[in-house]
Amino acid sequence: MSQKTEKLTKRRAASVPQGPFNVTPLFAARAEGSVITDVDGREFIDFAGGIGVINTGHRHPKVVAAIKDQAERYIHTCFHVVMYEPYLELAERLCSLTPGNFSKMTLFANSGAEAVENAVKAARYHTRRPAVIALEHAFHGRTLLGMSLTGKVMPYKSGFGPFAPEIYRMPAPYCYRCSFGLEYPSCGLACAEHLHELFRTHVAAESTAALIAEPILGEGGFITPPPEYFPALARICKENGIVLIADEVQSGMGRTGTMFATQHWGVEPDLITSAKSLAAGMPLSAVIGRQEILNAAHVGGLGGTYGGNPICLRAALAVLDVFEEENLLDRARSLGRTLRARLDSMAERRSLVGEVRGLGPMLALELVRDKKTKEPAAEETKELIRYAYQNGLVILSCGGYGNVIRLLMPLNIAEEQLNRGLEILDKGLGQVGK
């Protein structure tokens, strides 16, 4: 560790709580495209994107120009006090980009957790029902409701109770480790059909306001459901007047090769939450969905001082322009094909890789000590992350057992950086745990 980094590390330990975790010991000086340069001038290929926030790359020139231009005009008036057009323009564009040919509206907030909070508030108000159903392995944020909806105890819930009431849990569509000990497709989608059991044993359907689910469970380990799973959830929700909230905070904004992951399965969620790559690193989140749900709450019932900050909105509008002008969804799909082939090859050659899963370029490797017993290789995963940054690559883990490596690089990553990063990952898989 250089003197500079060592000094910063000491200051961090002295003045910032340990609660906010750090994946690497690095301090950033600059970032451009898919590369982060640290304070010692070392370059790192970024396969983490600040946890899925940098789909358009670091400091895309169009995003930077929009931020600068807006800062020259006005930074904050508060939408509740003096309104501004970028709020309307982004709302309109998101309404037309999200699946579903029905009247929609969009509400802006600052973080993924806040989007989740608002989606649940809107669903409860609209249905006048209290209960919310969430999945095991889910992650919906760190606010009281967000962590209550989250299905992972350490580190998100342990010691932070009591939790918000009226939350009911069902198993995730985790085929690699099926809660029912079944196999797809002979399972008959037991995990989706389990909703009926939940209605019998835990909460009445007519007391349930919403079911919230991530199309691909991000923090939970990039758990990817079979294609019929979300359509089945949508059908059961519809039959019972339950609002389906697709939490697309991590899976949205092109991450899976479509703008929103639910589009892969022809599902039209009642509400969609978006954040992360929505504004390329500026804090912005959105709830987009059915007009009758989002417009139900009375005036003053929703909102916040900073929600829909003009600079963040302009950054998000620039992100949407980049998607259109640079065919980013096509690039994402092509990246997905390349990545899948490379990861599949690693899985064949490396004993540590138990499964490759995901959709498009939203892919992950679940690491196991033994491909038969599937014993989670959590220590080896930590070692791999360390090996990666020591060799110039930033990667992230996830998963209920801390043994999944997820890839969240910019969708427009240059081929050379992609190859270099994948080589480091591949070599690391061959070296750790030995």
- Binding residues for ligand PLP, rule: CB under 6 A, are 51, 111-113, 116, 139-141, 214, 218-219, 247, 249-250, 275
Smallest distance, Å, CB 145 to ligand PLP?
11
Smallest distance, Å, CB 5 to ligand PLP?
26
Closer of 112 and 281 to ligand PLP (Cβ)? 112
CB 411 within 8 A of CB 335: yes
Closer of 277 and 417 to ligand PLP (Cβ)? 277
Smallest distance, Å, CB 250 to ligand PLP?
4
Smallest distance, Å, CB 282 to ligand PLP?
12
Closer of 257 and 428 to ligand PLP (Cβ)? 257
Smallest distance, Å, CB 175 to ligand PLP?
19
Smallest distance, Å, CB 237 to ligand PLP?
18
Smallest distance, Å, CB 408 to ligand PLP?
10
Sequence-distant (≥ 6) Cβ neighbours of residue 285 within 8 angstroms: 108, 109, 110, 111, 112, 114, 115, 249, 273, 274, 275, 278
Please give, one letter per residue, the 3-state secondary structure of the chain.
CCHHHHHHHHHHHHHCCCCCCCCCCCCEEEEEECEEEECCCCEEEECCHHHHCCCCCECCHHHHHHHHHHHHHCCCCCCCCCCCHHHHHHHHHHHHHCCCCCCEEEEEECCHHHHHHHHHHHHHHHHCCCEEEEECCCCCCCCHHHHHHCCCCCCCCCCCCCCCCCEEEECCCCHHHCCCCCCCCCCCCHHHHHHHHHHHHCCCHHHEEEEEECCCECCCCCECCCCCHHHHHHHHHHHCCCEEEEECCCCCCCCCCCCCHHHHHCCCCCEEEECHHHHCCCCCEEEEEEHHHHCCCCCCCCCCCCCCCHHHHHHHHHHHHHHHHCCHHHHHHHHHHHHHHHHHHHHHHCCCEEEEEEECCEEEEEEECCCCCCCECHHHHHHHHHHHHHCCEECEEECCCCCEEEECCCCCCCHHHHHHHHHHHHHHHHHCCC
Closer of 16 and 29 to ligand PLP (Cβ)? 16
Closer of 210 and 424 to ligand PLP (Cβ)? 210
Closer of 111 and 118 to ligand PLP (Cβ)? 111
Smallest distance, Å, CB 16 to ligand PLP?
17
CB 412 within 8 A of CB 326: yes
Closer of 134 and 293 to ligand PLP (Cβ)? 134
φ/ψ (deg, to 5) at 223: -65, 125
Smallest distance, Å, CB 276 to ligand PLP?
7
> Rounded CA gap, 234 and 72, in Å?
45
Rg value, the chain, Cα: 21
Q: Rounded to an integer, what is the distance from CA 55 to the centroid of its chain? A: 11
Closer of 360 and 428 to ligand PLP (Cβ)? 360
Smallest distance, Å, CB 126 to ligand PLP?
21
Closer of 217 and 424 to ligand PLP (Cβ)? 217
The residue number whose beta carbon is nearest to ligand PLP equals: 112
Smallest distance, Å, CB 139 to ligand PLP?
5
Closer of 149 and 432 to ligand PLP (Cβ)? 149
Closer of 358 and 428 to ligand PLP (Cβ)? 358
